[in-house]
Amino acid sequence: MGQWVSITVNGKNYTREVEPRTLLASFLREDLGLTGTNIGCDSSQCGACTIHMDGMAVKSCTVLAVQAHGTVITTIEGMAVNGKLHPVQQAFWDQHGLQCGFCTPGMIMSISYMLAQHPNASELEIRHQLEGNICRCTGYQNIVKAAMQARDELHHEHHQHMQEQH
């Protein structure tokens, strides 16, 4: 009773037969071995499983793998490019934005999406937009600082990019 899905994950296409009930999070973790996407709850609340699907942050524990057929997915494993950390990853490191690291992949995926949507997000907006991600270790303080550092860094990159184009 399998169903074929074809999904591009971190630039690579995978075609697999899955049981329809396979959650996208399990598909990534178990079928593809991409264990960076964590599972922290069963009520879709914690955000540890956040990935990007067609450029949008989604909770992969609440999406069926079959629903993701034909989509392009980025997971935490695909964030660094040629060994260079994504600005949000770098900011988490610089600002001590993680302790146990379990919420971290979801946080990074959530924040990188948030900053794409709201490039000028204030501290308050960042805190508010993080409502779908729970961290039990950090008290969020350094996560918010990391988001602010990444926001500024992305601005900087954006400006440089614009200058290069002119």
What minimum distance in Å lies between the beta carbon of 50 and another protein?
6
Closer residue to ligand FES (CB): 48 or 148: 48
What minimum distance in Å lies between the beta carbon of 140 and ligand FES?
9
Closer residue to ligand FES (CB): 128 or 156: 128
Binding residues for ligand FAD, total number by CB under 6 A: 3
User: Quick one: three-class SS letters along the chain?
Assistant: CCEEEEEEECCEEEEEEECCCCEHHHHHHHHCCCCCCCCCCCCCCCCCCEEEECCEEEEHHHCEHHHHCCCEEECHHHCCECCECCHHHHHHHHCCCCCCCCCHHHHHHHHHHHHHHCCCCCHHHHHHHHHHCCCCCCCCHHHHHHHHHHHHHHHHHHHHHHHHHC
98 near another protein, rule: CB under 8 A: yes
Which of 52, 59, 145, 151 contacts ligand FES by CB under 6 A? 59
45 near ligand FAD, rule: CB under 6 A: yes
CA distances (Å), 21 to each of 9, 18, 129, in order? Answer: 19, 8, 30
Closer residue to another protein (CB): 123 or 152: 123
41 near ligand FES, rule: CB under 6 A: yes
Which of 27, 73, 89, 115 contacts another protein by CB under 8 A? 89
73 near ligand FES, rule: CB under 6 A: no
102 near ligand FES, rule: CB under 6 A: yes
